[in-house]
A and B are shown apart, each in its own frame.
Chain A
Amino acid sequence: MINFNYTVWIPLIPFIIFIILGLSGHKLKAKLSGLIGTGGLGLVTLLSYFTAYKYFFTTVKVEDAYQKIEAFQVTWLQFTDKLHIDLGVLLDPISVMMLVVISTVSFMVHIYSIGYMKGEKGYERFFSFLSLFSFSMLGLVLATNIFQMYIFWELVGVSSYLLIGFYYTKPSAVAASKKAFIVTRFADMGFLIGILMLSFITGTFDFITLTDPSGSAISQGSGAAFLGLSVMTWSMIFVYMGGVGKSAMMPFHIWLPDAMEGPTPVSALIHAATMVVAGVYLVARMFPVYAISAPAALDVVAWVGALSSLFAAIVACTQNDIKRVLAYSTMSQIGYMMLALGVSGYGGHDGLGYMASMFHLFTHAMFKALLFLGAGAIIHAVHTNFMTEMGGLRKFLPVTHATFLIACLTIAGIPPFSGFFSKDEILVAAFHHNKALFAIEYIVAGLTAFYMFRLYFNIFWGKENHYHHTPHEAPAVMTIPLIILAIGSVFSGFIPFHELVTSDGKAFESHIEWTIAIPSIIIAVIGITTAWLMYKKETAIPDRVAAAFKFGYRWAYNKFYFDELYLFVTKKVIFRYISAPVAWFDRKVVDMTMNRIAEVTHHVSFRIRGFQSGQLQKYGFAFVSGAVLLALLIIYLWK
């Protein structure tokens, strides 16, 4: 048994840095605080890689399967013998994989931020929040029990809130951070209900007991039923609701596009690569429970994922703010991962979807972080978010251009870039499970290629705008992370995920099914060609297409009026028919009662205050009369 005790330092290092920078950051030089944050994350990255190496290549497999290792465990709150909340570190294939993803992307984003945030007010505050986020995210993936996960789940929510609202003097950023927090908080309420129901049924919080496929927890809870679904299924649906909120799936996706108000490195780290996949990770973590005792909940997962990815891909085709396009693309790709989990079975080759989902999570983290950081470099150069104000940038930003192109090819699924492999696995898994879901994902693959290359051609080709000053390439501290992530995007497809990260820990045979892969390449090429025809040179085609599908275009451009729907429900329905009567009751009944009591007291005391005249002898007279009166009473009534 290899000793993994040191892994507890992986989340603790960022936490210590957060405390140091948070308490004394304003005294340090800005540059030094950036270096402390980045250096700490570098250390975490080294530790994570070391852990991954040790876990995947040197631990002994039991019956050919990677084991779950509890590297560290401490009882935090002991209520009764059975009910206790622990904190600890759980190592299994997905948590180790997530360690690699989070630390890599976080490290890259830290390096990038040194250049990107240069000269910004609150530089050290930014780095301390980044460290807080890294701590919470690492704690989330390493959680040994669902309650610890919930605690860190909320912590990533808080750090996301703080970072979206980083420019707190900007009203739109403040509104976006509040929106993100409230929407995810609302979804987390479902998560909490799910946790409570689940722990009530199974009597445990612990992941190892909970997800043991032959354990008692999974076989329980198939008894009672509500609306045709077992209580277990309901609890898993509620747990999934938390994942829906965090991963910006429908119908809780509305916060993600607005979250782009935050600094771009934050969007890359939190809203593309790590935090938003927490929902996927949650389902993967609970996967045996979903697959074995709540298959109906798994169908919900699949359909929510499929519809979200389709919806987001359509909306992404019409947006003009490059960060929003990327946000919708993130939502669409996470939909893919959810769908892959939803169509997966447990164990062996049935777990193809599970493996594909984790694979796609990994590659997506690389190329989406790359896209966001590239977008940051572009915004840095031209000081606008709108692609209509860009064009012809390939001459000015050669490195950004090359890496952005790689990322676009990767997300479009062109071989041999990594996105092709992971997306192909997802399509195969969907094909063998449900043809309708497969068809949706097939269309989404084409749309993805189209909107990414629409973005690409609009930014780097097309008509050159008159810029205020000549755009210049970002400094090396920003381009080096781009290059590293580009290398990751290209080569991470060759990692043999089917041997490392599988639903039951056992390796299985997997190969590319060309009957599915070739059509998916073809549709990606069609998407790219369409974008090339429409946007490479400035033409009237886009406007004509928009005019031809006027109705559909308007709906997609306005994000299918989801925000308006929510506003309608909250303002016109909830505020008017629930909040307003409650407010009336509060003001007219509760407050009024209290006010009347106060008024009566006031009037009475106003009348009788004359007694307190300050005349000593009046008091004396009252006292003596009282004494005499009492004496008389006692004498004549007592007897």
Chain B
Amino acid sequence: MNSGIPLHYFLILATVMFFVGIYGFLTRRNLITILMSVELILNSVNINFLAFNRYLFPHKLEGLFFSLFVIAVAAAEAAVAIALIINIYRRFTTINVEDVHEMRY
């Protein structure tokens, strides 16, 4: 491989991004921030796809297409999630996730 950057650099970056996303997902109280964390998780996966595609199967395109799919799905997901958040705001006048706990025992 002629690239100067070794594969595991990409993997470390993706792992860090993934766990930052998980951390944000579990600790932030604002729904918008949680949504952003989810985007981080998705993008870390994208990086993995591209890195593996480039380093392991340079003559194939599956990894690229997968990441394109993920981006498209993420866009759709963001639209749905924001619609949900707007409705939650109308119903509870807050987007703090701890205050939205109707669905419990």
Q: Size of chain A's interface in residues, with CB distance under 8 A?
A: 11
Contact A615 B26 (CB under 8 A): no
User: Distance (Å) between the CB of B39 and the closest chain A CB?
Assistant: 15
Contact B26 A620 (CB under 8 A): yes
Per-position contact with A for B9-45: 1 when CB-CB < 8 Å, else 0?
0000000000000100111000000000000000000
Provide the residues of chain A in CB contact with B98, threshold 8 Å. 615, 617
Provide the residues of chain A in CB contact with B97, threshold 8 Å. 615-617
Contact B104 A616 (CB under 8 A): no
Q: A613 near B: Cβ within 8 Å?
A: yes
Per-position contact with B for A441-482: 1 when CB-CB < 8 Å, else 0?
000000000000000000000000000000000000000000
Chain A residue nearest to B102 (CB atoms) is: A614
Contact A621 B101 (CB under 8 A): no
Provide the residues of chain A in CB contact with B101, threshold 8 Å. 613-615
Q: B103 near A: Cβ within 8 Å?
A: yes
Q: B100 near A: Cβ within 8 Å?
A: yes
Provide the residues of chain B in CB contact with A613, threshold 8 Å. 101, 104-105
Provide the residues of chain B in CB contact with A624, threshold 8 Å. 22, 26
User: Distance (Å) between the CB of B58 and the closest chain A CB?
Assistant: 28
Contact A612 B100 (CB under 8 A): no
Contact A616 B100 (CB under 8 A): yes
Chain B residue nearest to A613 (CB atoms) is: B104
User: Distance (Å) between the CB of B62 and the closest chain A CB?
Assistant: 23
Q: A609 near B: Cβ within 8 Å?
A: yes
Contact B26 A621 (CB under 8 A): yes
Contact B26 A617 (CB under 8 A): yes
Provide the residues of chain A in CB contact with B103, threshold 8 Å. 614
Contact A609 B26 (CB under 8 A): no
Q: Which of B22, B26, B97, B98 neighbours the largest number of chain A CB atoms within 10 Å of its CB? A: B26
User: Distance (Å) between the CB of A635 and the closest chain B CB?
Assistant: 15
- Residues of B80-105 at the interface with A, using a CB-CB cut-off of 8 Å, are 97-98, 100-105
Contact B104 A620 (CB under 8 A): no
Contact B22 A609 (CB under 8 A): no
User: Distance (Å) between the CB of B93 and the closest chain A CB?
Assistant: 18
User: Distance (Å) between the CB of A487 and the closest chain B CB?
Assistant: 84
Provide the residues of chain A in CB contact with B102, threshold 8 Å. 614
23 CB contacts below 8 A, A to B, read: A609-B105, A610-B105, A612-B104, A612-B105, A613-B101, A613-B105, A614-B101, A614-B102, A614-B103, A614-B104, A615-B97, A615-B98, A615-B101, A615-B104, A616-B97, A617-B25, A617-B26, A617-B27, A617-B98, A620-B25, A620-B26, A624-B22, A624-B26
B interface with A by C-beta (< 8 Å): 22, 25-27, 97-98, 100-105
